[in-house]
Amino acid sequence: MDYSYLDSYIWYPHNMSTPSKQLGVLASRTSYTLQEFPVPEPGPGEVLIKNVAVASNPKDYKLPKDVPDYAFIEGNDVAGYIVKVGEGVTEYKGGERVAAFTIMRTKDNKYGGYAQYSVSPASTTFPIPGNVSFEEASTLPLAVMTAAIGLFVTLGLPEPPAPDASEVFAPDNGKGLIVYGASSSVGAYVVQFAKRAGFYVVGVAGASADYVKELGADAVVDYRAHKEDGSLEAALISALNGRPTSAAYDAIAEHGSTLSLANTLAKTSPDGKGFVTHILPFNELEKLPKGIETKLTYVGSAHGVDEAFAERFYRQISKYLESSSTKPFQTNRVKLLPNGLAGVKDGIELLKSGKVHGEKLVYRIAETPGVSRV
């Protein structure tokens, strides 16, 4: 569906000035409170975005919980219109529909996503094609880059063909790749990238197994069926169907998942060597089988050492989304929560409780009490 028609009445960027105040969600160890903040200004190489939809990630509650004096605007997934550009920005002029991954782990509230306006580096801001809604686009920035950096930087796997190539799927390379947490926000993108890169993909999931197959996984192993008897590794080896496999992506990194993947690779790697990348720290190095290494994927590197990769790959994402491939690239499934920014605290509680599966929590800014729709 083409959503660009909404531009005509959601907002007119050419005849609207930016206010001085905005609403944002202040996160602390114990609360998420809707408050008034100044509208920020973009610095050199940055853009100011009027947010239409923003999305949640599990790290949005984990970071405030672990930092005693944390009191900042959280959130890093935003989608909306560019309203201002900083010095040196030439790609955007203002009024463009974009999604952006804002800077994490900073004390500067201007980068917080749970707000009416957010500042983002132009390098991690990318156009939204007309066939993608703001709500869908908001599911992309952090998770899609976590997937891409993990696969193509941390693991060093070959990238898929360019999105504008005649065929966006590489030929089957004969190798397997295991994705633990394949229905999660990150895992769903890992599955799609890995298939485009030519891998035989085995996903590990629970109730969302059908969704993982829909994303393109060749086989799905339900971890719940193997929890009691410890047969998960054997099930993964069987699902790989003899494919040599020396790489795995752990998009959950909890409850022994990283170690299970490492033990599996020790038996499926042709030379006994392999790598598991994971999104949370792994502290059981002494238990790793010989020849298998673990590597942490940290998406914050998109604003540091991997900025050039992120800038290039985000622009490829825009093209993947508008590609007419027989297997279109899918954004995460959207679970829209009511009350806009006022609903963020409820979304955080859902994430904490582990009740979010195979979908992304999204908030429409215009539904926030006290926020104008134009």
Q: What is the pLDDT of residues 196-254, one digit of tens each?
A: 999 999 999 998 999 999 999 999 999 998 877 889 999 999 999 999 999 999 999 98
Q: How far is CA 254 from the centre of its chain?
A: 18
In Å, how far are 243, 258, 268, 270 from 288, measured between CA atoms?
A: 22, 9, 15, 17
Nearest to 367 by CA among 345, 343, 350: 343
Q: How far apart are CA 304 and CA 145, in angstroms?
A: 13
> Which residues belong to CATH 3.40.50.720 in the chain?
145-300
Residue 162: burial class (beta carbons within 10 Å; 0-12, 13-18, 19+): exposed
Please provide the average confidence, as pLDDT, over all residues in the chain: 92
Q: Give per-residue pLDDT as tens, 148-184.
A: 999 999 999 999 998 876 777 899 999 999 999 999 9
So what's the pLDDT on residue 29? Answer: 79
* Residue 122 predicted with pLDDT over 60: yes
Both tokens of 170, joined, read 């590489």
Contact 1, 40 (CB under 8 A): no
pTM of the model: 0.94
Q: How far apart are CA 123 and CA 314, in angstroms?
A: 8
Contact 115, 78 (CB under 8 A): no
Q: How far is CA 212 from the centre of its chain?
A: 16
> Which residues belong to CATH 3.90.180.10 in the chain?
4-140+331-367
* Residue 12 predicted with pLDDT over 50: no
How far the first Cα of the chain sits from its last, in Å, is 23
344-362 exposure pattern, b = at least 16 Cβ within 10 A, e = fewer: bbebbeebeeeebebbbbb
Contact 94, 85 (CB under 8 A): yes
Where is 117: in which H helix or E strand? Answer: strand 117-121
> pLDDT tier at 11 (50, 70, 90 boundaries)?
very low
The dihedral built from the CA positions of residue 39, 102, 315 and 79, taken in this order, carries a sign that is: negative
**Domain 4-140+331-367 - what CATH class?**
alpha beta
So what's the pLDDT on residue 114? Answer: 98
Q: Give per-residue pLDDT as tens, 249-265.
A: 999 998 899 999 999 99
> pLDDT tier at 1 (50, 70, 90 boundaries)?
low
Average pLDDT over residues 361-368: 98
So what's the pLDDT on residue 28? Answer: 84
Contacts (Cβ under 8 Å, ≥6 apart) of 257: 180, 181, 204, 250, 278
Average pLDDT over residues 299-320: 97
Contact 55, 362 (CB under 8 A): yes
So what's the pLDDT on residue 374? Answer: 47
Average pLDDT over residues 57-69: 76
Q: How far apart are CA 168 and CA 365, in angstroms?
A: 35
Q: Give per-residue pLDDT as tens, 79-121.
A: 999 999 999 999 999 999 999 999 998 889 999 999 999 999 9
* Residue 326 predicted with pLDDT over 50: yes
For the chain, give the number of residues.
374
So what's the pLDDT on residue 167? Answer: 75
Name the one residue in this structure whose structure tokens are 């979908």: 359
CATH dotted code for 145-300: 3.40.50.720
